[in-house]
Amino acid sequence: MVSPHKTQTVAIIGAGPVGALAGLYFSHAGWDVTVYELRDDLRSPENRALGSGKSINLALSERGINGLRNIGDAGAALLHKVLEETIPMHGRMIHSGEVGTKGEAQAYDSVHGRFIRSADRALLNMQLLDALEERDNVQLCFRHKLRRLKLDGEDGAEAEFVKSDTGETVKVYADLVVGADGAHSAVRNQLQRHVKMYYEQTYISTMWCEFTIPPHPTTGDFQLSPDHLHIWPKQTQMFIAIPSIDKSFTSTLFMPEHLFNSIESRSDLIAFFREHYADVLDILGEDSLCDQYFANEHLPLVSIRTGPYHYSDRCVIIGDAAHAMVPFYGQGMNAGFESVNILFKHIRANPEDLKSALQAYTNERQPDAWAIVDLAMRNYDEMRSGVTKRGYLLRKWVEEACAKWVPSLGVKTLYSMVSFGNDRYSEVLQKAEKQMAIEEAMLGGAMLVVMAGVGWRYGALKALEVGCKEGWKALVGRR
């Protein structure tokens, strides 16, 4: 039971975007907040590059925006500041890789014109840290590595840190410990000592390497359309480019590890890009391409599903610590911000019973987190190959036509439900699966009608019989 007269204390482990947002939520709710971070303060000029180590540009969409919106009294002002430093992306631009071709635009939402936003991860993180530092009840502690958690002490949760600059051991006590320390969470590792936690970690065969497409050397303008997320889909691999405020593009090559291993020399790399991404090679130039490829790390991609997310009233994990996902739906940060929002929904609903609040958070959030982890994995197939297939384009057209002309049906694209709404991920997934079954039945029925029409037109009853049989087989096969 939490006393309404006692100022509660929270130790947040991790000062990334999700941890910083959590700090703002707790601060505005009247808690005394201390945020501990393993790395240096990324706002320091000498540490700016280190702070942006995870720099696949973030795709900020409705769930993340809603998380910022609901901070408290200052939420609207901070949200406005954040959105001013983002770039609207109205859709995907699909490239063939041939030099001189523009690409094919595919709107994210041709019905309502909604869009997602490209956000620089480090800049967003710094904006949140600045907002935290303005709060009187917040303390930021950098270069603190969590070594141990004791969650059953009489004085609350005990966290033991080692200061990386001095080697000094620091022990602190808090009513609640929040783990926002990423996919390789030290808090989650300690939490597993206290709860029977399901834990599933999956590395996919795909790895990634980052590139920067600079502004045009003469005009200083974007070298590609800034209104789109650019994709070069190649079935088993892809290259993407996301616009940045400085008119560059943060770009990423995703492909199987064995292909990375097959590129051993400068000539190998140039030949590979000339075959698959000739227009990218033309923009970057051979020297820049090679310098970036061999200097930047080739990193793995991991998905994590776990649960429960808390222990008693002492500890809870959020963001990638609870639900790391591959980046192909652009929902990692959005889901993390939403988790903070959901956590606080239950804390506000149980102001004197933190244990019940954390249990309610786990109960609600776990099925949704598992759903978006699965959806993110599926979306890789769509991005690297599906966007070029007629079946995908037909389904998208049908769904958007229904949404526009027959809104009473409630048909929406899966992407719009995920990116432009706040319905639970698990419910969105269920709705999408039911909707797909109905659409496949409709397509099968249409095929029957078409085939029957052809048979009737030529007066051949046998053709009608065969058409019906083949249409039914097609319908059953799709199911």
CATH number of the domain where residue 79 is located: 3.50.50.60
Q: What is the mean pLDDT of residues 139-165?
A: 95
* Range from 323-332, 383-392, 457-466 carrying the lowest mean pLDDT: 457-466
Does any domain span residue 94? no
- DSSP type of residue 79: H
Alpha carbon distance 19, 35 (integer Å)? 8
> Are 318 and 171 found together in one domain?
yes
Instruction: Decide which of 380, 404, 433 is a domain's last residue.
Output: 380
How high is the pLDDT of residue 48?
57
| Residues 429-442 pLDDT 10s | 999 888 877 766 65
Retrieve residue 29's tokens: 């709710």
Whether the pLDDT of residue 261 is over 60: the answer is yes
> Are 279 and 182 found together in one domain?
no
* Range from 253-262, 279-288, 395-404 carrying the lowest mean pLDDT: 395-404
Whether the pLDDT of residue 446 is over 90: the answer is no
> Are 188 and 231 found together in one domain?
no
Contact 134, 24 (CB under 8 A): no
Retrieve residue 314's tokens: 């002492």
Does any domain span residue 99? no
Structural domain containing residue 209: 202-300
Q: What is the mean pLDDT of residues 266-287?
A: 97
Interacting residues of 406 by C-beta distance below 8 A, sequence separation 6+: none
Contact 298, 208 (CB under 8 A): yes
Which of 210, 213, 206, 369 shows the shortest CA–CA distance to 280? 213
> Are 35 and 129 found together in one domain?
yes
Name the burial class of residue 102, with classes exposed (0-12), middle (13-18) and buried (19+) by CB atoms within 10 angstroms of its CB.
exposed
By DSSP bridging, strand 58-60 and strand 86-89 are unpaired
Write down the mean pLDDT value for the chain.
88
Cα separation of the two ends of the chain = 51
Retrieve residue 371's tokens: 């759903």
> Are 324 and 348 found together in one domain?
yes
CB atoms within 10 A of CB 458: 10
Confidence of residue 466 (pLDDT cuts 50, 70, 90): very low
Retrieve residue 23's tokens: 């700090």
Contact 429, 446 (CB under 8 A): no
> Are 313 and 290 found together in one domain?
no
Retrieve residue 73's tokens: 């009294």
Alpha carbon distance 68, 87 (integer Å)? 17
> Are 155 and 37 found together in one domain?
yes
Does any domain span residue 102? no
Contact 131, 267 (CB under 8 A): no
CA 313 vs CA 89, 262, 308: distances in Å: 41, 51, 13
Which contiguous run of DSSP H or E holds residue 365?
helix 354-384
Does any domain span residue 104? no
Interacting residues of 210 by C-beta distance below 8 A, sequence separation 6+: 55, 56, 250, 251, 252, 292, 296
By DSSP bridging, strand 9-13 and strand 32-37 are parallel
Which contiguous run of DSSP H or E holds residue 105?
strand 104-107
| Residues 311-354 pLDDT 10s | 999 999 999 999 999 999 999 999 999 999 999 999 999 999 99
Instruction: Decide which of 256, 279, 300 is a domain's last residue.
Output: 300
Q: What is the mean pLDDT of residues 421-448?
A: 77
Strand order of the β-sheet with 156-163 is 144-153, 156-163, 169-174
Does any domain span residue 112? no
How high is the pLDDT of residue 56?
65
Alpha carbon distance 179, 308 (integer Å)? 13
> Are 42 and 181 found together in one domain?
yes
- DSSP type of residue 99: T
The phi, psi pair for 102, rounded to 5°, reads: -85, -35
> Are 182 and 240 found together in one domain?
no
Strand order of the β-sheet with 138-142 is 138-142, 32-37, 9-13, 176-179, 315-317, 310-311
Long-range CB contact pairs, 426-434, < 8 A, 24+: 426/367, 426/368, 426/370, 426/371, 428/371, 429/371, 429/374, 429/375
Interacting residues of 221 by C-beta distance below 8 A, sequence separation 6+: 215, 247
Domain total of the chain: 3
Match 């070594």 to its residue by tokens: 147
Whether the pLDDT of residue 240 is over 80: the answer is yes
Instruction: Decide which of 242, 265, 300 is a domain's last residue.
Output: 300
Q: Which is more confidently placed, 217 or 450?
A: 217
- DSSP type of residue 136: T
| Residues 372-386 pLDDT 10s | 999 998 887 776 766
Retrieve residue 91's tokens: 């859709």
Retrieve residue 470's tokens: 């083949």
Whether the pLDDT of residue 254 is over 50: the answer is yes
Does any domain span residue 111? no
> Are 210 and 275 found together in one domain?
yes
Q: What is the largest CA-CA distance in the chain?
A: 90
Whether the pLDDT of residue 475 is over 80: the answer is no
Q: Is 319 helix (H, G, I), strand (E, B) or coil?
A: coil
The model's pTM: 0.88
- DSSP type of residue 216: P
How high is the pLDDT of residue 45?
81
Does any domain span residue 152? yes
> Are 19 and 46 found together in one domain?
yes
> Are 321 and 340 found together in one domain?
yes
Name the burial class of residue 44, with classes exposed (0-12), middle (13-18) and buried (19+) by CB atoms within 10 angstroms of its CB.
exposed
Does any domain span residue 103? no
Alpha carbon distance 214, 259 (integer Å)? 25
Which of 87, 3, 18 shows the shortest CA–CA distance to 317? 18
Beta-ladder partners of 153: 156
Alpha carbon distance 357, 179 (integer Å)? 16
